[in-house]
Structure 1
Amino acid sequence: MEFTMKEVGFRTTLEYGELHVAGDEAHGFRPYQLLVSSVAACSGGVLRKILEKKRLHVKNMTIHANVTRNEREANRVEAIHLHFVLGGEGLTEEKVAKSLEVARKNCPIVRSVEECIRITETFEIKKGSENNDE
């Protein structure tokens, strides 16, 4: 990856398109937003694959991410809590809980930051949820 300085922030071009990163969100995604997005999307993607391998169809998944930052230490990210809201067929509390444990162990982004950022997860299963998000 190569990043080029802009007037405010940086830009890079990736396979999907151009990414703008800046401390001021008027000029791009803030670095902490990308960090949290990486943790959430990686966790959700791995969880989805695990559930599919168990032949559990996930119709939709929403991940709420709550971030704790420490203003006294350069506003560093200290904790990320992920709350998964799942809809689908055959999902049970036990199956999702076990799958979430396996996902945590197999998500490369979580594994990369787990020594310095506390990651916690909870979930709920929405019955009768028919939303299909991209």
Structure 2
Amino acid sequence: MIITSQWVDGNCFVASNAMGHTVVMDGSSTQGEKRGASPMEMLLMGMAGCSSIDVVSIAQKQRQDIVDCKARVEAERADSTPRVFTKIHIHFIVSGRNLSEEAIGKAVSLSADKYCSASIMLGKAAEVSHSFEVVEL
């Protein structure tokens, strides 16, 4: 896996992967309007995406009729430098038809404990927790 980061100006960078997909990152907090997510926000976005892919995939293998999956990540950071994450909580809202709360819970647990590389890696530095709710359509 190779990622490149190209400086635009100020604290703004454009990162790209080998396929040419790009993301704008901006660490500016006092220099006018931010043009992208901060690098630390990108870490949480990656965790949300990685975990969500797992939850949907596992639930589908359990024959769950998922229509939507939303993940909300809340995090706390240390007050002093380096401002690492100290607590991260990810909450899934899984919507669908005839969903089994037990199956969705199992999908969330398997992602958290076995499959989500991003969540497991961040868990080496921060307290990571997971929760979920099922919305019947």
State if a TM-score over 0.5 links the two structures. Answer: yes
- Asked if residue 75 in structure 1 is aligned to residue 77 in structure 2, the reply is no
- State which drifts further: 85-94 or 35-44: 85-94
Equivalent AA in structure 1 for residue 62 of structure 2: K
What is the CA deviation profile of residues 25-63 of structure 1, one whole-angstrom value per residue up to 9, with x for unaligned ones?
A: 613320111010011110011110000111112101111
**2:47–2:119 contact (8 Å) kept in structure 1:** yes
2:62 to 48, 51, 54: 54
Within 2, Cα distance between the matches of 1:16 and 1:51? 31
Which ranges in structure 1 are unaligned for 5 or more consecutive residues? Answer: 129-134
Q: Which moved more, 1:77-86 or 1:22-31?
A: 22-31
Q: Percent identity?
A: 20
Give the 3-state SS of the residue equivalent to 2:136 in structure 1.
coil
Q: Which has the higher contact order (CA 8 A, sep 6+)?
A: 1
Pairing of 1:82-101 with structure 2 (within 5 A): 82-101=90-109
Provide the rounded CA distance (Å) in 2 between the counterparts of 1:13 and 1:39.
18
The normalised TM-score by structure 1 is 0.85
- In the other structure, the counterpart of 1:19 is 23
Query: Which of 99, 109, 130 lines up with 1:121 in the alignment?
Result: 130
Q: Is the 8 A contact 2:98 2:136 kept in 1?
A: no
Deviation string 1:78-124 (CA, Å, 9 cap, x unpaired) is 11111111111232222211121111211111122211122111111
Distance 2:91 2:75 in 1: 12
Match of 2:42 in 1: 34
Task: Normalising by structure 2, report the TM-score.
Answer: 0.83
> SS where residue 71 of structure 1 aligns?
coil
Q: What is the alpha-carbon root mean square deviation over aligned residues?
A: 1.7
Once the two structures are TM-superposed, the CA of residue 16 in structure 1 deviates from its matched residue by 5.6
Say how many residue pairs are matched: 128
Q: Distance in 2 between matches of 1:12 and 1:85?
A: 29
Which runs of 5 or more residues in structure 2 are unaligned? none
